[in-house]
Amino acid sequence: MSQAHHGKTVSGKAVKIVKVNKDTPHLNLDRLEQILHNYQDHPVAIISVFGEHRTGKSFLLNFLCQYLRENQSPSWYKKNYVKLINTFHWKGGVERDTIGIYMTDKPFMLKNDKGQDTAVFFMDTQGSFHKQVTAGESSLMFALSSLLSSVQIYNLPSAMIRENDLQHLEVFTHYAQAAIDYEGDEGSQHSSLFQSLLFLVRNWQMSDYHYGSKGGMDYMKEVMKTDKAENDSVRRQIKQSFSDVRC
C-alpha cells in the first residue's frame, strides 16, 4: 500500500470472519460482504498479521489502530500508551486468545499517494504452531489471510529472520497453492498468488542494521543470500508467491 495521509476511523470493533470447525477453517462470506459492501466504490486495502501464537500479533494491531486514530502523529504513543484501545482482544499468559480470523467491521479512511480515499481494514489471524492446531489448519489460515489481504505482515519476535521462519513460510505457500487449486490462464502460472509480504522483525538489537524500512531491506537482502541449493529454493518460492516482499 502507498503512503497514506491524515487518516480517520469510522468505527472500531473486530468481528470474526473465519471460524474453525473440526480443524477446518470456514470463511463467512456473508459477513465479509456486509463489511465491504459500503466501500465498493473505493480502493480497499486489508492489512493482516500472521505468525506463531503468543507473539503479540493482536497487541501490534491495536498499536496500528491507535496510531491511525491519532492521525499518524509522531508522538501518539507518549499520551496514549497507558490507555491503548482494544479493537482486537488480547491478553497475557500461555494459552492462546485469538481463534479463527477477525477483521475490523469499519475501515480507516486514508488518502493514498494518488489522492484517493482508501478504505483500510485490519485483520488478525490465529497463531500457528499451537498444540491444538495442526499444520494443515495453520497452512489454510495462512492461505485465507494472504488471499484476503493486500499486505501480509509476517510477525517475527525473535529479533531476526531465522532459517526455519523462511522454511515454514515456504511450506505455507506450497500448501496454499495446492489448497486453492490455482490454475487460471496460461500466463497466470508466472504471476504471484499473493500481494505484498512484509517481514516484521521485532525486538531488534543488532547494531549493524538500522531500524525501520531501509535497515530492514538491507538486512533482508543479506538474509536472502545463500549458496545452498535447498535454501535458495526456499527463497525463490517465497519471492514467486508474493508480488512484493519487504522487511
Looking at residue 183, what is its pLDDT? 47
pLDDT-derived band at 239, boundaries 50, 70, 90: very high
In the predicted model, is pLDDT for residue 185 greater than 50? no
pLDDT(147) > 80? yes
pLDDT exceeds 60 at position 238: yes
pLDDT surpassing 90 at residue 108 = yes
Can you give the residue range of the structural domain that contains 56? 5-246
Average pLDDT over residues 25-37: 94
Q: Give the lowest-confidence range in 37-41, 73-77, 136-140, 177-181.
A: 177-181
| The pLDDT of residue 190 is above 70 | no
pLDDT greater at residue 149 or residue 141: 149
pLDDT of residue 227: 93
* Average pLDDT over all residues of the chain: 85
pTM for the model: 0.87
- Per residue, the 3-state secondary structure of the chain, as one string, reads CCCCEEEEECCCCEEEEEEEECCEEEECHHHHHHHHHHHCCCCEEEEEEECECCCCHHHHHHHHHHHHHCCCCCCHHHHHHHHCCCCCCCCCCCCCCCCCEEEECCCEEEECCCCCEEEEEEEEECCECCCCCCHHHHHHHHHHHHHHCCEEEEEECCCCCCHHHHHHHHHHHHHHHHHHCCCCCHHHHHCCCEEEEEEEECCCCCCCCCCHHHHHHHHHHHHCCCCCHHHHHHHHHHHHHEEEEEC
Model confidence at 210: pLDDT above 60: yes
pLDDT tens figures, 45-84: 999 999 887 678 998 999 899 888 888 888 877 765 557 7
- Mean pLDDT is highest, among 57-61, 95-99, 195-199, for 195-199
Q: What percent of the chain has pLDDT over 70?
A: 85
The CATH number of residue 31's host domain is 3.40.50.300
**Per-residue pLDDT at 4 exceeds 50:** no
The confidence score (pLDDT) of residue 181 equals: 60
Domain count, the chain: 1
pLDDT above 90 covers a percentage of the chain that reads: 52
Name the pLDDT band for 189 (thresholds 50, 70, 90).
low
Mean pLDDT, range 178-189, rounded to an integer: 55
